[in-house]
Amino acid sequence: MTLTKDAAQAAKVASNKQSEFNTRLRASFQQLLAFASLLALVLFFSVASSNFYQAANLSNILLSTVVTGLLALGTTFVIITGGIDLSIGTGMTLCSVMTAVFMTQLGMPMIVGVLCGVLFGALMGGINGFLVAFLKIPSFIATLAMMMVAAGLALVISGTKPIYTNEVAGFQKIFALGKSIPGLVIPNAVFILFAAAIVAGLLLSKTILGRYTYSIGSNMQATALSGVNVTKWTVLIYTVAGCFTGLAGVIATARLNSAQPAGGAGLELQAIAAVVIGGTSLAGGKGSIIGTVIGALIMSVLTNGLSIMSIPQEWQQVAVGVVILLAVYLDMMRRKKATN
């Protein structure tokens, strides 16, 4: 009697494990699919052009992913809540200008300047969050306005001229181009991106903040009625997202050893494209950091590969557009299948 009961219990546990495994498998399938597309692209370009699969070129691809990648990481949080952030492109530029100002005009030590650059991004994110959560301005509008404010401020503060950080010893080397690992051609900026991705991934999957990010995106009203202070958490989530914008600004400055006040516009759309290719739903509630990283890599592999094949830039844009459509459509089909 006890024996059969135990056996039944064991079977139940086993079947639970099995179905849990299935659920997990289905979730990772999405990422597998994105990853497979990335590999397919790499394979295709390697065959198409002998210049593609070279250490120097691969390292180039990674380096060119860093700024958009960092922006995409932050905006993944915002998009999972069901919002959108259009201010990250010019916001990144403003952070870049501020970082340069902190280090040169205000004479802060490098590390303090970097920290302040990141915190400035957090401040901008916090303002976005305040506009969205407290004043209930739709995120599209709030961040569109913020995008313009940031673009303007970057020009005002810099006096429309680049601010050079050459005199900040080691800045470019440590935060962008230096290669810390002997024998590896990968520059530091890439490691910073991957470190940031790991932090973002942990934040999203292992912390309260991450859990609320998902729950606000899947059902804000239910989350509020469950006793979660949605207003407060939304501000926090936007603030965290802003940190990544700030970091992107810092890296962009280090890479060029200068803050270029006129750039940045359009980067937000590339970042959003990376997030979407990575399987994060603009409707909110779904998405992952690993998907975003792969999405960002797909974007830069595509651009780099097409350049190497001497496809004119205007056609590269067409190709990227088509890839975005394909990626999102395939994702929708897959989801539909999953629900049926």
Measured from the CB atom, the residue of 24 and 161 that comes closer to other proteins is: 24
* Residue carrying structure tokens 């792969």: 294
How is 258-283 classified by DSSP, letter by letter? EE-TT--TTHHHHHHHHHHHTT--TT
User: What burial class does residue 186 get, using C-beta atoms within 10 Å of its C-beta: 0-12 exposed, 13-18 middle, 19+ buried?
Assistant: middle
Distance between CA 100 and CA 37 in Å, rounded?
A: 38
Q: How far is the CB of 212 from other proteins (least distance, A)?
A: 7
Q: How far is the CB of 149 from other proteins (least distance, A)?
A: 30
Q: How far is the CB of 238 from other proteins (least distance, A)?
A: 17
Neighbours of 219 (CB within 10 A): 15
Measured from the CB atom, the residue of 221 and 310 that comes closer to other proteins is: 221
- Using CB under 8 A, list all residues that contact other proteins: 15-17, 19-20, 23-24, 206-212, 214-215, 218-219, 221-229, 231, 285-286
Q: How far is the CB of 211 from other proteins (least distance, A)?
A: 6
Residue type at 289?
A: I
* Residue carrying structure tokens 């498998």: 25
Q: How far is the CB of 206 from other proteins (least distance, A)?
A: 6
Measured from the CB atom, the residue of 161 and 206 that comes closer to other proteins is: 206
Cα separations in angstroms, 162 against 113, 155, 194: 17, 9, 28
Distance between CA 13 and CA 7 in Å, rounded?
A: 10
